[in-house]
Structure 1
Amino acid sequence: MKPVKSVTIIDDPQVHEDQHVHAPWPIIAKFLSDLPTGWIGLDSGTGNGKYLPLPADRPGSILTIGLDRSRNLLQIARHAGSEPGILITREVVWGDVLGSGWRSGMFDYAISIATIHHLASHDRRKLAVQRLLQVVSPVHGRMMIYVWAIEQDELSKRSIPASDTDGLDHYPTAGEDVFVPWVMSQQQHTAKGKFKGDVTSSAISKQDASAVPTLAVETPVYNRYYHMFAKGELKQLAVQAAEELGLIVGPQETAYTKGCRGVEIIQEGWERSNYYVELRCWVS
């Protein structure tokens, strides 16, 4: 692994959360909105469950089950989309995105949003993609994966350190391993100094954290690992994951015999400082 760098979130924590944690990305929202009525899917690494209530334009048309290793976040996700006086209960499961506790092909779709970039090796990230490929239907399964990108736009609040191996390019051709300092908000402290919720609830720089009055002594700053993907890296990861499972990568028309299994890359791209890839499974 390359040396891990430090990246700073330069923003008010609440503004950062509203933009990058709570607000659904348009392409993900459209992906879920376009799914057929009655489909059941998995949100692998659901966090606070912000995608469980979607699609907003067709509420209840699909069922997304949230999976996460944080019990505290699952407590939030379990009631995602609830309003005062209206308690809604979601289906959530405690588990690891690298686990194999699901029956093969049991889901119609799967999403993995801002999760795989927390895995600290190429092989673990590849395995996470393979788990998604394994749990969706081999006939019609669809997947959407989102990760942080090295390439940040002018609106991004993530300050990425320059790479020593950039050469003539502004960005490296491989991803960067970084630490993001996170600090818990004051609302998450108990009177005894213990913490509620997940450490990703607020993000500020180390310098800002030390300037927070009264909280600086009691509130630790957590350095959370991210692998920030370079251009083309997520697509290549998906291709490698599929090929190692014996899948053909390409449109169904590329099948050379009846009964072949494959996966097609429907779309890939960059959206607001994130890379995404959409996949569709098929059987000839």
Structure 2
Amino acid sequence: MARRWVAEDYGDLDVFAEIDAEVPAPGPGEVTIEVRAAGMNPADYKRVAHGTDRSLLPLPVGYECAGVLTAVGPDTEIGSGGGAVGDEVLAFRVQGAYATSLTVRAADVFAKPASLPFADAAGLLLAGTTAAEMLHVTGVKAGDTVVVHGASGAVGVMVLQQAALLGARVIGTASERNFDVVRRFGGEPVVYGPGLEQRVRDAAPSGVDAALDTVGTDEAVDVSLALVGDRDRIVSIAAAGRAAAEGFHAIGGAMPASKVFRDSVRGRLIELAGAGQLVVPIARTYPLAEARAALEELKGQHPGGKLVLVP
């Protein structure tokens, strides 16, 4: 028996509940993980807020975790190869990571580098793969100047680090209190708010090659459109409506193309994190029993890093 958080209905955070749940033994192509840390993401509550398919209820919550293998199904290897009871692993694109234990598809499980703490590993892949796809669809390359809206957030920080590895220059919008975060990860901060377009132009007098939006505000979209002439080099993860209307990219983990790309880069991002080339800034950890309080902080939009649940 495991403890697990589920959404018993669709709506606000009051529909989340911690329950006892059976953990099925793994079949072929499956493994069971004792969870040591579960990464938290806005998608965890947004799916519940906007869901409509009642056949999925109660809905397990959480897409990524790190822990230790406690069982391996017959003739099964994990996504990175091998896999034995006792191995330390991380998993992404799973269902129900807010738990003490869960059985998942082995293909979504990877060996955890020994240098990577469980909390960091649990917070790596959703933000990391999202950032990688944003850079991919806009074709960011060495020598480019890029503006990133929301550069101090979890995805923004991953964009900063991966853009630096590509050799791109990044101007990152943020509040002044988060300027040090932007600088720490290789970006040049500018404050958002009235006059943003001119501040970016002043910082990049030779022009901006691409714009990556993690916040979805009208300001972020308007400034992106004003700065970047080629709409194929603008992407948002939070303004799908405007993207469809105005001809720039919108991506999301539920989109087939996004899923394929994000799955393809998981192993590489784990290697980079294990080598210390990708850092997961952890703002705070919460006990699993306090998941609802942690979600309240996450909804506040300014946690200053990843939030992680620790069973």
Smaller-chain TM-score range?
A: 0.3 to 0.5
Quick check: which one's helix share is greater? 2
Query: Comparing both chains, which one has the higher relative contact order based on Cα–Cα distances under 8 Å and sequence gaps of 6 or more?
Result: 1
- TM-score by length of structure 2 reads 0.36
